[in-house]
Chain A
Amino acid sequence: MNIVANLPVLVIIIPLISALLIPPIGRLNRTFSWYVAISATFLSFLISISLLDTVMANGRISYRLGAWEPPWGIEYVVDYLNSFVLVVVSFIAFIMTVYSKKSVEKEIERSKIPFFYSVYVLLVTGLLGMIITGDIFNLYVFIEISSLAGYTLVAMGKKRDALIASYNYLILGTIAATFILLGIGYLYMVTGSLNMGDLRERLPMLYHSKVVLTAFAFFTVGLSLKLALFPLHIWLPNVYTHAPSVVSAVMAATSTKVGAYVLLRILFSVFTVEFDLHSVPITKILLLLSVLAIIAGSVLAIAQTNIKRMLAYSSVGQIGYIVLGAALANQLAMTGSLLHILNHALMIGALFMVVGAIAYKTGIEEISGLKGMGKKMPLTMAAFTVGSLSMIGIPLTVGFVSKWYLALGALEAGMWYFIPVILVSSLLTAIYFWRIIESIYFGSAESETGHADYALVHNPHPVFGNRGDAPLGMLIPTLLLASLCIVFGIAAFIPVSVATQAAVMLLGAN
């Protein structure tokens, strides 16, 4: 048996089988469940790297499940675009698993830890499956796997509000997935095919058909709900606020990014750029919505007092950037959009990890409680500062690179008026992050003692006292993500070269 040839499917199979193995292994010894989870995500990450490497060297990989020929059987396709997203998502999943050990021990009931890891690995499986599959119905199945795992994980939050957040997420997520299923049905009705590559060949002669337009509408609305594009974002803030820290971090860094990837796939791989630009006013609608998302997300973030909720609204704004780049539909903007998938995953991942570390040490979740935190947890707060600067888009951080490409793309499209939007939103971002950085480093001492007492009263047995950084198991992954925000901000050519090729492929006339 040739393992190398089967790598595209192993990236899914390994976490899927591990998810089933974790509960029985966890019965033997609870700590083993974490080891299984981390080996599964690490193997997926290694395979993703090797797939990216192969794709960069030899081009597109097509894998046939059960050796069935593509239009009939399920095909897994790895190309420039999804090998890139695959590496991003599997890397974040692996780092988050490292980070999760301490945080989960604190936030999840001990008897439930094996089940937590089982569902967590299922979430990763679903996300990786959504990325790698070349079959549109298989895509729906993976969307549901990741969503169902997501609902369960969110419901494991400490407060009872988590249950309501999870319930509302379930309702909206299911409506979204059902819309996508209907879209698939309409496409199947006129083409008789479920393979994405095959659909791309068969659809152009049917572009005038009302059935295809209906399918396209269902896809757009369903996916916009999944990736929380502005007016459809209402499920997101509650989910990110009430989920356990690790789950917020993973979902913020990966779930919506994968949703954005699927939107790109449908818009530019199943349908073509010509269809998006000329047959339907979709790019105009998406441009408008993304601008609204960017501005509204930032303004709403300023109004928040809970730090997780603030980051959630900030994510709504950042998703706007990804969609903006896609809707501008030229090579530079698309590169910016793809880069932002990686960059935002790094930044928001690091920020949510810091928030999780603060919650682990002190239990504080409100912005007002962070005063003087810079002295208590210096390294953790350094990571937070780097993440914030990157969100604002200071040069030498990743946030700057993607905004730069988006601005260039807007110029190339002859739509200069998006540049002020990007600038204003950066300014708003600076306002709400500066507020926190100021209280972290320059917070007054009196309120500091007040909150320290408060934390001590409610957290009578702190693990290592109230001072000092988060434990190494949490600190190292956080610092790693934060430093990558700078590494990829300076050595931007590495992700840019991959993203450019992916953008050319998406917009290419193949």
Chain B
Amino acid sequence: MEMIELILGKYNYWIYIALMMIGFYATIAKENLIKKIIGLNIFQTAVFLFYISIGKVDGGTAPILWDKAVLYDNPLPHCLMLTGIVVSVSTTAVALALIIKIYKAYGTIEEDKILEMGEEEKTPTPGSWPQGSR
């Protein structure tokens, strides 16, 4: 009975853990660079869910001044997550811009193929500096 209580009563925390692990797995295991970023986004979004869950107060209403309200939810974690969302969006933007440049330089966004190409380039003479010169 306690077990059921633990699972159902705090279901949002379980979802947060599951989402976080899904995102973490995708970030590590996927070969496609875009899929890695999708994984990273799920990973970060899971943390947003965690923060929003800790802001909930039992029986609280939305934190807007209202004379019938007895309890308000804690709005601070929500505000923090606005910042978190901005950070997440900027990270995604930088990552996607990088992926575009990687695609232009390598012609692929599959990590295993890129790694193969990187090794081929290393074999020539020591000090192969000027190859990427503009």
Contact = CB atoms under 8 A, between A and B. Distances in A.
Contacts of B129: 359, 363-365, 458
B98 A175 contact: no
A170 interface: yes
Interface of A: 109, 137, 141, 144, 148, 151-152, 155, 158-161, 163-164, 166-167, 170-171, 174-175, 177-178, 181-182, 185, 188-189, 305, 359, 363-366, 368-369, 451, 454, 458-459
B126 A164 contact: no
Contacts, number: 92
B38 interface: no
Given A171-B27, A175-B27, A368 B33 contact: no
Given A170-B98, A364-B129, A188 B87 contact: no
A19 to B, nearest CB: 14
A185 B33 CA distance: 29
B132 A160 contact: yes
Contacts of B87: 141, 144, 177
Contact of B47 (A151, A164, A182, A364): A182
A240 to B, nearest CB: 16
A454 B36 CA distance: 40
Contacts of A189: 54
Contacts of B43: 175, 178
A109 B101 CA distance: 15
A152 B80 CA distance: 25
B102 A167 contact: yes
B40 A171 contact: yes
Nearest to B36: A171
Given A181-B47, A185-B50, A185-B51, A137 B130 contact: no
A170 B44 contact: no
A137 to B, nearest CB: 6
Contacts of A458: 129-130, 133
Contact of A369 (B54, B106, B127): B127
B68 interface: no
A175 B28 CA distance: 10
Contacts of A109: 134
Nearest to B84: A181
A477 B14 CA distance: 54
B132 A158 contact: yes
A30 to B, nearest CB: 16
B48 to A, nearest CB: 9
B114 interface: yes
A148 B90 contact: yes
Interface in B44-102: 44, 47, 50-51, 54, 76-77, 80, 83-84, 87, 90-91, 94-95, 98-99, 101-102
A258 B104 CA distance: 34
B111 to A, nearest CB: 9
B1 interface: no
B3 interface: no
B118 A167 contact: no
Contact of B54 (A174, A185, A364, A365): A185
Given A144-B90, A182-B50, A365-B127, 18 more contacts: A141-B83, A144-B87, A159-B132, A161-B118, A163-B101, A163-B105, A167-B33, A167-B95, A170-B98, A174-B44, A178-B44, A178-B47, A185-B54, A305-B126, A359-B129, A363-B130, A364-B127, A368-B126
A166 B98 contact: yes
Give 4 nearest A-B pairs by CB, closest first.
A458-B130, A160-B105, A366-B127, A159-B132
B122 to A, nearest CB: 9
Contacts of A454: 127
A356 B77 CA distance: 45
Nearest to B80: A137
B46 to A, nearest CB: 9
Contacts of B123: none
B77 to A, nearest CB: 7
12 contacts: A152-B94, A158-B132, A161-B118, A164-B114, A170-B91, A170-B95, A177-B87, A366-B126, A368-B127, A369-B127, A451-B127, A454-B127
Contacts of A363: 127, 129-130
Contacts of B127: 363-366, 368-369, 451, 454
Nearest to A238: B118
Contact of B98 (A159, A167, A185): A167
A232 to B, nearest CB: 14
Nearest to A184: B80
B106 A160 contact: yes
A30 B51 CA distance: 44
A174 B40 contact: yes
Contacts of B94: 148, 151-152, 170
Contacts of A163: 98, 101-102, 105
B55 to A, nearest CB: 9
B126 A174 contact: no
Interface string B7-49: 0000000000000000010010000010010001001100100
A148 B93 CA distance: 10
A302 B38 CA distance: 38
B83 A164 contact: no
A364 to B, nearest CB: 6
A189 B134 CA distance: 52
A174 B132 contact: no
A478 to B, nearest CB: 20
Interface string B106-134: 10000000100010010000110111111
